[in-house]
Structure 1
Amino acid sequence: MSAIYCIYSSAVGRRRRVGAWAVGPQAVRLRLRRSDADRGGVVVEASYGRCRPVTDFEKLNRIGEGTYGIVYRVRDKASGEIVALKKLRIDATTGSGEGLPTSTIREVGALLKMRHPNVVQMKELVVGKSLENMFIVLEYCEQDLASLLDNMKTPFNESQVKCIMLQVFAGLVHIHQHFIIHRDLKVSNLLMTDDGIVKIADFGLARAFAVPQEGDMTPNVVTLWYRAPELLLGGKEHTTAIDIWASGCILGELLSHKPLLPGRTEIQQLDYIIDLLGTPNETIWPGFSDLPAAKNFTLKTQPYNNLKQKFPTLSDQGFRLMNFLLMYDPRKRYSAAQGLASPYFKEQPMPCAPSHLPTFPQFRNLKQSQPAPTAAGIGKA
């Protein structure tokens, strides 16, 4: 059982309880509680004083929609600071006893735990006039990589790609050190400031790991183009390796200026992976044949790893990094720390400084023109 309690001054001064959160004339206390079985007795608690009303912010424009909420660019009327305001999706009338969805609890809980330059920072919670209106205030980032890739005339050069990937790995190290799997890493969830600082965002699908879970996890997480083969084949054991696979897809996308594995269905996605890496087998991936979809679906036969042909100018160290990010066996994939320490980032061309990354003010806040699909298919439980 998960619960969030948000207490703030209401117009009529009455105390009400809706689902998993409470409203009354007292200071705000956000409390994310996990049962002993669910989170090993972990309790994350943060006190915010009084919860400010959303009217303290001036809406400037809508800048996008995350996995579980609409995002606006707003100005804090008190300080003048430009921030992002994410409207949380809340159904207070479901009768399920969960006023805040699990996705919201996950995202807020994850953001409360983390403070890192390469992870988007949550500043506060604010509330609207009704219980159905609750918002997260986040630091504002001017651009996202998906919009840049869609609109740039020339791709990032290799020095710039290295700078971006170093920041992605640094953020992932921090996330994984807090026992969190992002589970939806993709270029549209990588934000960038005008100073070239890359920040991992949108934790609506994030999950804790290394503690017992309540039942199996669904394999249908992670946007299809970035989804690891164990998930495509119906595996329900989620590890940090699914974020690492996604980071390999991002590296390939940055180098080639187009999605590495742009499948439209799970079957097509598997075909693209096999065309690139060859057909998996028990020798290179012990336990592969026990995955649900592997038992019921015959994979195409392709014996060769074609990464070298796909990236002919990539150095040996770059090829080694790509291979370990896109390893079939999740147990053999690099960790985020190993990716960060790769010799690829220590050879010429050296990574540029973040401040030297190109910025394109005319592309700010543009949505990705062709969002990657999230189709379910053969791996669905």
Structure 2
Amino acid sequence: MSAKSRWADDDPETEAIVAQQKREKEEKRRAKAEKQRQLEEKEKKKKNNDENTQAAINGESGPPKKRLRLSNDPDAPPTTAEVDQQDRKKQSSLLRFPVREWGPCRHVDNFERLNHIEEGSYGWVSRAKDINTGEVVALKKLKIENSPDGFPVTGLREIQTLLEARHSNVVYLREVVMGNKMDDVFLVMDFLEHDLKTLLDEMREPFLPSEIKTLLLQVVGGLEFLHAQWIMHRDLKTSNLLMNNRGEIKIADFGMARYYGDPPPKLTQLVVTLWYRSPELLLGADKYGTEVDMWSIGCIFGELLTKEPLLQGKNEVDQVSQIFALTGPPNSQSWPGFRSLPNAKSLRFPPSAPAPSSSGSLPLLPRSRFPYLTNAGLGLLSSLLALNPAARPSAQQCLAHPYFREDPRPKPREMFPTFPSKAGMEKRRRHHTPEAPRRGQEAPELDFAGVFGGAPGGDTGEVGAGFTLRLG
């Protein structure tokens, strides 16, 4: 006989109430225990998932949590659970990125041509507006009709180098569009309001020294990036340097650009517009490197200082004469080995030629030509226009020159003055500037015997490589 509770009465109704309370208390205890068990299982499951995810990220494969295969046969097909697990593992390890799908080029009719800007050696440039976005762009049509071998290699090089040269001081190639015919190929590039040549011709006064430093730093900075990518421009001149109204300058016109190697391969000597062509090219060098671009930088530097092209030869012979008049004639000490160049064999120096300097230092250009240039600036210009290509600084060395660190410091681009855009008018005024050499031209046989004596070729108005002289 069970013991009777001291709280219970003999009344059966009271005993039933006490029993009901006991059952409710027991149910609450079991419910609490079940809830605790579910929380522990949930926490354990979350911990296992975190460990599996970390193992998948690290490329580790931990032991399976449960058996997925009931057969011991290794050749048995995988079960559905195994396939699902493999799919989840692949999805967790593969990274997917959105990419542009391959497709046809857009048609040129997507652009409304506003006005013609200029014709160059390798294309016609127009100002146009993208009908879809309303943006104003530069539209360059490549010259293909005179290319007997199909698509011109100059156009291929320009497209290839522009796609590789993504730099703030290199013009940006947006896309290539087509016309109705196979030879209607257009390059869509960012539009910039000015080119440096037109600005210099229209300005009453040259740029300030601080502005010249800012312009040079941008041009050489873009060129340093090109050379780091093993790209030579081979036609640097002020008309190929574009500038916007925010003081930003960009290198353009890559029709003559190409990749090079070390040692440099055998290349054509008919590159670079005549006024910016280095002496080794004029004397017939067919192996050269980035030094030809640095000579052009020196010519651009001098043009920024004087507001006029520094060396305006009528033809190759006259160009060599003007170079030697500025720098002095070469000798075995200032330019070792120059006599081995093909066209240097005909040079006849005057009897009163100055004796070679024994100091070994680089001779400076005459200060009378650049009276307002500091000593550091004259030293930089003299090194850029050194006859010996090996004596010219690289683009990286040029950027580190003390000239850019002395007062006045380079002017911030935001402080640059703005100019009315000539490219937005009906047609840019054409200036008498020689064109770049055309691909496929044969290098003429030149006689430099009269460079110091004024005989053959000096002022005869003959046809030079890359352009025909127009007098009058």
TM-score, length basis structure 1: 0.82
Contact 1:222 1:374 in 2 (8 A): yes
**Residues 127/299 of structure 1: CA separation in 2 closer, same or farther (3 Å cut):** farther
Matched, 1:180 2:231: yes
Partner of 1:13: none
Query: What SS does the aligned partner of 1:363 have?
Result: coil
Aligned to 1:245: 295
**Alignment partner, residue 104 of structure 2:** 50
Write the letter of the residue equivalent to 1:317: A
1:317 and 1:192 map into 2 onto residues whose CA distance is 26
Residue in structure 2 matching 1:85, options 134, 139, 148: 139
* Per-residue Cα deviation, 1:87-120 (whole angstroms, up to 9, x for no partner): 01224983x3xx2101111101110101111000
What SS does the corresponding residue of 2:320 show, helix, strand or coil? helix
Report the equivalent of 1:132.
183
- Mapping 1:318-329, distance limit 5 Å: 318-329=377-388
Alignment-mate amino acid for residue 312 of structure 1: P
Greater share of helix: 2
**Partner of 1:17 in structure 2?**
none
Query: 1:8 aligns to what?
Result: none
1:188 and 1:117 map into 2 onto residues whose CA distance is 18
In 1, are the aligned partners of 2:206 and 2:304 still within 8 Å (CA)?
A: yes
Query: Does 2:218 align with 1:167?
Result: yes
Distance 2:399 2:324 in 1: 27
Distance 1:201 1:302 in 2: 41
Of Structure 1 and Structure 2, the greater strand share is in 1
Letter in structure 2 aligned against 1:292:
P
Do the aligned partners of residues 297 and 221 (structure 1) sit closer, same or farther apart at CA in structure 2, a change above 3 Å counting? same
One-letter amino acid matched to 1:83: V
How far does residue 353 in structure 1 lie from its aligned partner after superposition?
Answer: 1.2
**Count of residues in correspondence between the two structures:** 331
Matched, 1:61 2:115: yes
1:1-381 superposed matches below 5 A: 49-91=103-145, 94=148, 96=149, 99-210=150-261, 216-299=266-349, 303=354, 306-364=365-423, 366-372=428-434, 378=446
Bigger Cα Rg: 2
**Preserved contact between residue 232 and residue 259 of structure 2 (Cα < 8 Å):** yes
The one-letter code of the counterpart of 2:217 is: L
Q: SS of the counterpart of 2:139?
A: strand
Distance 1:309 1:47 in 2: 60
CA distance in 2, matches of 1:92, 1:183: 22
Secondary structure in 1 aligned to 2:175? strand
In structure 2, relative to structure 1, the CA distance for the partners of 1:103 and 1:212 (3 Å cut) is: farther
Distance in structure 2 (CA, Å) of the matches to 1:155 and 1:85: 30
Q: Write the deviation string for residues 257-309 of structure 1: whole angstroms up to 9, x where unpaired.
A: 11111111111111111111100111111110101111123256654854322
The answer to whether the Cα contact below 8 Å between 1:146 and 1:368 also exists between their aligned partners in 2 is no
Letter in 2 for 1:279: P
1:131 & 1:267 partners in 2: Cα distance? Answer: 41
Asked if the contact 1:76–1:82 (Cα under 8 Å) also holds between the matched residues in 2, the reply is yes
Letter in 2 for 1:371: T
Over 3 Å counting, the alpha-carbon distance change for 1:211 and 1:320 in structure 2 is: closer
Judge conservation of contact 1:166–1:340 (CA < 8 Å) in 2: yes
Superposed CA RMSD in Å reads 2.2
Residue 86 of structure 1 aligns to a residue whose secondary structure is strand
CA distance in 2, matches of 1:373, 1:54: 27
Q: Distance in 2 between matches of 1:361 and 1:233?
A: 41
1:357 deviates by 2.3
How far apart, CA to CA, are the structure 2 residues paired with 1:150 and 1:129? 38
Distance apart, 1:324 and its partner CA: 1.3
Aligned partners of 1:202, 1:302: CA distance in 2, in Å?
40
Q: Normalising by structure 2, what TM-score? A: 0.67
Assess if the C-alpha contact under 8 Å between 2:105 and 2:177 holds in 1: yes
State how far apart, in whole Å, the 2-side matches of 1:329 and 1:152 are. 34
Q: CA deviation at 1:61?
A: 0.6
What is the identity percentage for the equivalent residue pairs of Structure 1 and Structure 2? 45
- Mapped partners of 1:170, 1:339: distance in 2: 9
Change (3 A) 1:364 1:70: closer
